[in-house]
Amino acid sequence: MKLFIGSLIAVFITELALLFGFVFRSSESVLDTVEVNEVMQSVRRDHDDLAAHVNETSLDYVVIDGSGNVLYKTREGLSEGINAAVSHRDTILDIDESGTVSGKVIIYNDSGESVKSDRNSLSIIFGISMAAQMIICVAYIIYLDRRVIKPFQKMKGFAERVAGGDLDVPLEMDRGNIFGAFTESFDIMRSELKKARIAEAEANRSKKELVAKLSHDIRTPVASIKAVSELGAAVSSDEKTRSGFKQIIRKSDQITTLVGNLFSATLEELQQLTVTPAPLDSTELSAMLESADYFRKANIPDIPECVIFADKLRLQQVFDNIFSNSYKYANTEIDVRSFLENGKLVIEIEDRGGVQADEPALLKEKFRRGENSVGIDGAGLGLYISDRFMAEMNGELILENGENGLKNIVVLSLA
């Protein structure tokens, strides 16, 4: 920017200097006295034979006699009469011989041509200066467009995307423009906003899952209170006591209804958990299975090499839920098998516990738990959510009783 401004100032100063020089320059040309004397001496010397006269100076002149006849002239186009010479402001000198004027010498005044030449030169210089100014201005406009306007428009569009909630696309940084450091700070702000939003979403999800779990778990003590109250109402002989028990039963039903509504509403929000499947190398499954088997009760086999279509985070949650249920309800050794079948990668996870013959098909429903869950904490959500995750990944979760116990079959699509 300083270079452009400095260039404009330099050109402007040059133009002003030329303009002032032309305005204040004298339009009159001063003849060289020495050369004038040489002209007069040579003319007097050759006056009798001007045909042989030679001009030895840089001046142009005409020699006329007393009658106005031209005796000699250095070139064509010069003033040949007194009147013409006066109007042209030429210098007129008498040829004096023995006190008698025998003629005149008219020395040409070239100041007009000099002024015209200077004017032409000045016009050319001003034209070049104006062209230089125009080039500098155009270059400066291009510079501003590339270094200021376009980066600013890019930041404006970026701010609109951030305001609209798009925090994934980073702002391209160019340290060559004046907004370079600012764009870097702007992108850091985007990154921090994204982290904050992810943390907020995770906190909200955790709270909703906690609410869902607590809502479900509240039903158990309420059901016990209702059962005891029903028994008390049945065996009581006092009408006032029976009325009290019935009031407890009604309130228990009311609590169960309210908790059920809260639980259902929370589950609807839990279904909004995003699943984003993408190609995933099957070699990563071994680490995921080992991470889920934190009690080290399973034998993790080699996984066939292939590329599956899955969301790594959600698939890890599926494995976590399966192993957690096995620890909680069976607490036995776990057999894990892996193989390719019908263009799918199949992971079988089987413990030594097992459930009733008619229960495997029902365990993926909301709130559903097997008979072996009596006295064990749980919300009945793990397999329900895992089944939804697998469906979103074009896969499948199958539950069945195997040879040794409950078999969880995770079927993954190949990418």
- 208 vs 122, 391, 408, CA distance in Å? 84, 22, 26
Amino acid at the residue 206: S
Which band of pLDDT confidence, cut at 50, 70 and 90, is reported for residue 206?
A: confident
Q: Are residues 230 and 306 in the same domain?
A: no
In the predicted model, what is the mean pLDDT of the chain? 78
Q: Are residues 313 and 402 in the same domain?
A: yes
160 within some domain: no
- CA nearest to 351, candidates 386, 403, 315: 403
Q: For residues 337 and 330, what is the distance between their CA atoms, to the nearest angstrom? A: 18
Q: Are residues 237 and 305 in the same domain?
A: no
Q: Are residues 282 and 409 in the same domain?
A: yes
Q: What is the CATH number of the domain that holds 312?
A: 3.30.565.10
Q: Are residues 283 and 337 in the same domain?
A: yes
Answer whether residue 98 shows pLDDT above 60.
yes
131 within some domain: no
89 within some domain: yes
- State pTM to two decimals: 0.40
Q: Are residues 257 and 309 in the same domain?
A: no
Query: In sequence order, which residues have a C-beta less than 8 Å from that of residue 162 and are 6 or more positions away?
Result: 190, 193
Query: In sequence order, which residues have a C-beta less than 8 Å from that of residue 349 and are 6 or more positions away?
Result: 298, 319, 322, 323, 326, 334, 335, 336, 407, 408, 409, 410
180 within some domain: no
Q: Which of 109, 135, 168 delimits the end of a domain? A: 109
Q: What are phi and psi of 46, to 5 degrees?
A: -100, 15
CA 98, 102, 105: angle at the middle one, nearest 5?
Answer: 115
Q: Which of 45, 80, 109 delimits the end of a domain? A: 109
Answer whether residue 270 shows pLDDT above 60.
no
pLDDT digits (tens, 9 = 90+) for 345-372: 999 999 988 777 767 777 777 666 666 5
181 within some domain: no
Q: Which of 253, 270, 287 delimits the end of a domain? A: 270
Range of the domain at 219: 206-270
Q: Are residues 350 and 229 in the same domain?
A: no
Contact (CB, 8 A) for 155 and 161: no
Answer whether residue 406 shows pLDDT above 70.
yes
Q: Are residues 393 and 294 in the same domain?
A: yes
Q: For residues 306 and 319, what is the distance between their CA atoms, to the nearest angstrom? A: 19
Q: What are phi and psi of 21, to 5 degrees?
A: -60, -40
Mean pLDDT on 24-31:
56
64 within some domain: yes
Q: Are residues 212 and 99 in the same domain?
A: no
Q: Are residues 357 and 291 in the same domain?
A: yes
Q: Are residues 369 and 301 in the same domain?
A: yes
Answer whether residue 387 shows pLDDT above 60.
yes
Q: How many domains, in total, are found in the chain?
A: 3
11 within some domain: no
Q: pLDDT at position 393, please?
A: 93
pLDDT digits (tens, 9 = 90+) for 138-171: 887 887 777 777 777 776 766 766 676 666 666 6
Which band of pLDDT confidence, cut at 50, 70 and 90, is reported for residue 44?
A: confident
Q: For residues 43 and 72, what is the distance between their CA atoms, to the nearest angstrom? A: 9
199 within some domain: no
Q: Are residues 266 and 291 in the same domain?
A: no
